[in-house]
Amino acid sequence: MSPRDDTNARVGALLRDLAAVQTSPQSRWGYKRAAAAILSLEEPLENLLQADGTLRKIPGIGPASSRVILEVLQTGASPTVERAVEQSKRAPDVQRSRELRAHFLSRAQVMAALRNPSLRGPRLEHYLGDLQMHSEYSDGGDTLAAIIEGCIDRGYRYCAVTDHSYGLPIAGGVSMDNLKRQHREIEALNRRYKDRFRMLKGIEANILADGRVDMKQSELRTLEIVVASPHSKLRTADDQTTRMVTAIETRGVHILGHPRGRMFGSRPGVTADWDRVFAAAAQTGVAIELDGDPARQDIDYALARRALRSGCVFAVDSDAHAVSQLRYTEIALAHARLAGIPRSRIINCWPLDELLEWTEGAWKR
């Protein structure tokens, strides 16, 4: 199954369309829940079609949603959804949303990519550590100790906690005083888990409109991993190539996080000449992130192929805000495999000493 044959993604998108045109909040919520259920299925819908033409029971899916699924399985489209959209006042909004869903993978497609032996790129056993996640220090839900245990359970050797910087208060940006407190806690935990696991001191710095990051150079120097990410100007068509290149050329920045800042069906993210951005990243050695958050999937496999041709290295991360979300890494790994990125070009597959040697290069530009 190729991404173009992702029936689960197609059905999930159609159910979101149906949710968008509902006048009842209860119906809207029901179709959104159904869409989420389909997108999170680990097997293709084709496998759930029984010999008598009915579907096996799918949790969270009622008769109305089942009708849409069967229409798509039988014809490749859903007249039910199209009629509902045409008869609503929200057809233009639905069309705009459809244009913002390119190259998103369903869970079934993710699992297919991870299992496909013909794809190049990293396997789960090659992955040594997640380099973007959030704790209770900013907008995450878990303690540092819980994060370490969650990573160890997944077989990791290291991770970086990258809470939001103080310039993004809407996401609970961590003050420098609290960051110092976090660092003391990380040092204590690393002593406890010595020889078993290493947590790196990180931050997700915010890229400002002019490309500067929202932290001083002296503050960045206290960190082992700096992810610089855009969180504003994500709905404009203005060219922001200079903004992104400026961030990449900032001393101390290691990773360009979720480079577009796109969001499934609702936000296009940054508009830029991505080949120029990738060329700058290859020149400076900054890693381009594949963010595995299901609503982000940024960058996706199609754009990652262009970054690969430009000579970039990559970071494959979960962007988890809870231990239960660490599995989002699997989405990012699927995109990496579909893009054909060799594991030698993925920093999360490097041994810790090699990774730390690379991070020091960010201060030699």
Rounded to an integer, the average pLDDT of 331-357 is 97
Judge whether residue 282 has pLDDT over 90. yes
DSSP class of residue 163? P
3-state DSSP assignment of residue 298: strand
Rounded to an integer, the average pLDDT of 221-245 is 96
Lowest pLDDT segment from 46-55, 132-141, 204-213, 268-277: 46-55
Rounded to an integer, the average pLDDT of 45-68 is 94
pTM attached to this predicted model:
0.96
pLDDT attached to residue 361: 86
What CA–CA distance (Å, rounded) separates 86 from 35? Answer: 20
Beta-bridged to residue 225, according to DSSP, are 202
Sequence spans of domains, the chain? 3-99, 121-363
For residue 231, what are the CA distances in angstroms to 72, 224, 263?
A: 36, 22, 11
pLDDT attached to residue 363: 85
Superfamily of chain region 121-363: Metal-dependent hydrolases (3.20.20.140)
Q: pLDDT tens digit string along 104-134?
A: 999 999 999 999 999 988 999 999 999 999 9
User: How much helix, strand and coil, in percent to the nearest 5, is found in the chain?
Assistant: 50, 15, 40
DSSP class of residue 111? H
Which of 287, 291, 309 has its CA nearest to residue 299? 291
Instruction: Report residue 5's pLDDT band, with 50, 70 and 90 as the boundaries.
Output: confident
Rounded to an integer, the average pLDDT of 258-275 is 96
Instruction: Report residue 44's pLDDT band, with 50, 70 and 90 as the boundaries.
Output: very high
Rounded to an integer, the average pLDDT of 310-334 is 98
Rounded to an integer, the average pLDDT of 216-238 is 96
Judge whether residue 1 has pLDDT over 60. no
pLDDT attached to residue 4: 72
Q: What are phi and psi of 226, to 5 degrees?
A: -120, 115
Cβ neighbours of residue 357 under 8 Å, at least 6 residues apart? none
Judge whether residue 244 has pLDDT over 90. yes
pLDDT attached to residue 3: 73
Judge whether residue 27 has pLDDT over 60. yes
pLDDT attached to residue 365: 75
3-state DSSP assignment of residue 300: coil
pLDDT attached to residue 141: 95
Superfamily of chain region 3-99: DNA polymerase beta, N-terminal domain-like (1.10.150.110)
Judge whether residue 257 has pLDDT over 70. yes
Q: pLDDT tens digit string along 139-167?
A: 999 999 999 999 999 999 999 999 999 99
Judge whether residue 281 has pLDDT over 90. yes
Judge whether residue 169 has pLDDT over 70. yes
pLDDT attached to residue 262: 97
Judge whether residue 64 has pLDDT over 80. yes
- What's the whole-number average pLDDT of the chain? 96
Q: Alpha-carbon torsion 293, 294, 296, 297, what sign?
A: positive
Which of 341, 212, 231 has its CA nearest to residue 278? 341
**Pair of tokens at residue 162:** 């990258």
pLDDT attached to residue 362: 86
Rounded to an integer, the average pLDDT of 314-325 is 98
What CA–CA distance (Å, rounded) separates 60 from 12? Answer: 13
**Dihedral Cα 30, 36, 40, 43, nearest 10 deg:** 60
Total residue count of the chain as it appears in this document: 365
pLDDT attached to residue 2: 67
What CA–CA distance (Å, rounded) separates 42 from 59? Answer: 13
